[in-house]
Amino acid sequence: MPSRLVDVLLERRILVCVGSGGVGKTTTAATLALAAARRGKKTLVLTIDPARRLANSLGLSSLGHAVQEVDRALVHHHAPSKSGELHAMMLDQKQAFDEVVARHAKDPEAVKRILANPVYAQISGSLAGAQEYAAMAKLHDFDRAGAYDLIIVDTPPTAHALDFLDAPRKLSEAIDSPAIEWFRKLQGQGGSRWSIVGKTGSFVIKRLSKFVGTKFLDDLSVFFTEFNDILGGFKQRAEETFALLRQPRVGFLLVASPEPMAVREALAFHDRLVSAGMPFVGFVVNKIYNPRPVQTSVAQLETALAAQPQIVSLGLSGTTRTMAAQALFNAHGELETLAAADATAIAKLRAVAGPTAAFVEVPLQRDDVHDVERLVALEKFLLA
């Protein structure tokens, strides 16, 4: 029997929402966190990129990188339990990454040097995998502190969902690349800093420093050397986090939309989770178009039109009524095509979900989902 998402929510301690960009990860994470809080859980949602209006309605507007409790009156309004709490944090990637650096640097002086290094300031926001890494490190901290019954993690808006699991490797690769290795070798040679790079090297350095200045080159090599020192700590932590994510108290919820790209990515991610031994708990297929198509014919539509008092009062001729029925039939056909495409996508996902995973379909809403009321409205689909 497929499990119900409400049970997943009440039994697991960490729920990670993954999927490609724009499918509804942030919305799903917020909805489920609110739903858990409304059922009595002390819940934390670790969100990455909430739409401004959603952040505002959760009380996150001005807070940035700090945990903030969502107004209890809002959470408990018509809720099944009045004892839950919803806490939310909008992860500031730069700050989270600074924290990781601070934890692994060899001493407070090194932390100061790295954070003040202009090269670090430039690249820490754009280093491959840094955002994903920072999010996971933060999760790890919160899990250790043990202050919440349930932590729901939203994942960054990476172009490809798989990037998320690859983050620690990407980060190390970015730092271990040959170009960076070369710069790193420049450092730590005392007075003759640039001598080890050889004749060609020092020629290049001379020319380079004409453009960027030796100060910049020094910053660069100092940065990569210091960063190299903390990389061991990074890797160890990544491994610990990986181990944490494999535990049965964790659940990975794959969010997809019926769009072909999102389905492909969801299938690939599912493969990846299963082969990595990560606890996959289910699919949420979001933004489904017209989930229940109605079979009909021109003749049926014409009969239906003829039975409508408003249509009768128009006094249309038989031919006009047939034409109207035909136009309606054509429009309806287009809707059915869209709905059929969605049904095909859903069937593909269902086929791989397996018999015990949760499988939830959420219809496309008329509006964006940006306030607590709309989150509560989505809850009934997610927990159905």
Ligand X SMILES: Nc1ncnc2c1ncn2[C@@H]1O[C@H](COP(=O)(O)OP(=O)(O)O)[C@@H](O)[C@H]1O
Residue numbers at the binding site for ligand X (CB under 6 A): 19, 21-27, 51, 157, 286-287, 362, 364-365, 368-370
CB atoms within 10 A of CB 252: 25
Q: What are phi and psi of 259, to 5 degrees?
A: -65, 140
* Contacted entry of Mg ion, ligand X, none for residue 23, CB cut-off 5 to 8 Å set by kind: ligand X
Nearer to ligand X, 89 or 180 (CB): 89
* Contacted entry of ligand X, Mg ion, none for residue 213, CB cut-off 5 to 8 Å set by kind: none
Tell the smallest beta-carbon distance from residue 45 to Mg ion (Å).
12
Cα→Cα distances 155→46, 188, 381, Å: 9, 38, 21
Cα 191 to Cα 365: distance, rounded to the nearest angstrom? 66
Interface with Mg ion (CB under 5 A): 25-26, 49
Tell the smallest beta-carbon distance from residue 379 to ligand X (Å).
12
Nearer to Mg ion, 19 or 251 (CB): 19
Tell the smallest beta-carbon distance from residue 132 to Mg ion (Å).
13
Cα 17 to Cα 349: distance, rounded to the nearest angstrom? 16
Tell the smallest beta-carbon distance from residue 251 to ligand X (Å).
17
Tell the smallest beta-carbon distance from residue 265 to ligand X (Å).
11
CB atoms within 10 A of CB 335: 13
Q: Say which residue the tokens 């690349």 belong to.
A: 177
What is the rounded (10 degree) CA torsion for 80, 68, 87, 61?
80
* Contacted entry of ligand X, Mg ion, none for residue 47, CB cut-off 5 to 8 Å set by kind: none
Quick one: 197 exposed, middle or buried, by C-beta within 10 A (0-12, 13-18, 19+)? middle
* Contacted entry of ligand X, Mg ion, none for residue 87, CB cut-off 5 to 8 Å set by kind: none
Task: Please name the residue ranges forming H helices in the chain.
Answer: 5-11, 25-38, 52-57, 72-76, 93-104, 108-116, 118-123, 130-145, 163-176, 178-186, 198-212, 214-245, 260-275, 298-306, 309-314, 318-353, 372-382
Nearer to ligand X, 23 or 167 (CB): 23
* Contacted entry of Mg ion, ligand X, none for residue 370, CB cut-off 5 to 8 Å set by kind: ligand X
Nearer to ligand X, 199 or 366 (CB): 366
CB-based contact 86:70 (threshold 8 Å) = yes
Give the length of the chain.
Answer: 384
Q: Say which residue the tokens 């119900």 belong to.
A: 4
* Contacted entry of Mg ion, ligand X, none for residue 162, CB cut-off 5 to 8 Å set by kind: none
CB-based contact 167:245 (threshold 8 Å) = no
CB atoms within 10 A of CB 129: 23
Tell the smallest beta-carbon distance from residue 66 to ligand X (Å).
21
* Contacted entry of ligand X, Mg ion, none for residue 270, CB cut-off 5 to 8 Å set by kind: none
Nearer to Mg ion, 47 or 124 (CB): 47
Tell the smallest beta-carbon distance from residue 231 to ligand X (Å).
30
Tell the smallest beta-carbon distance from residue 54 to ligand X (Å).
7
CB-based contact 254:18 (threshold 8 Å) = yes
CB atoms within 10 A of CB 176: 12
Nearer to Mg ion, 349 or 369 (CB): 369
* Contacted entry of ligand X, Mg ion, none for residue 383, CB cut-off 5 to 8 Å set by kind: none
* Contacted entry of ligand X, Mg ion, none for residue 368, CB cut-off 5 to 8 Å set by kind: ligand X
Nearer to ligand X, 27 or 241 (CB): 27
Tell the smallest beta-carbon distance from residue 252 to Mg ion (Å).
16
Cα 94 to Cα 139: distance, rounded to the nearest angstrom? 15
CB-based contact 76:82 (threshold 8 Å) = yes
Nearer to Mg ion, 17 or 357 (CB): 17
Nearer to Mg ion, 26 or 57 (CB): 26
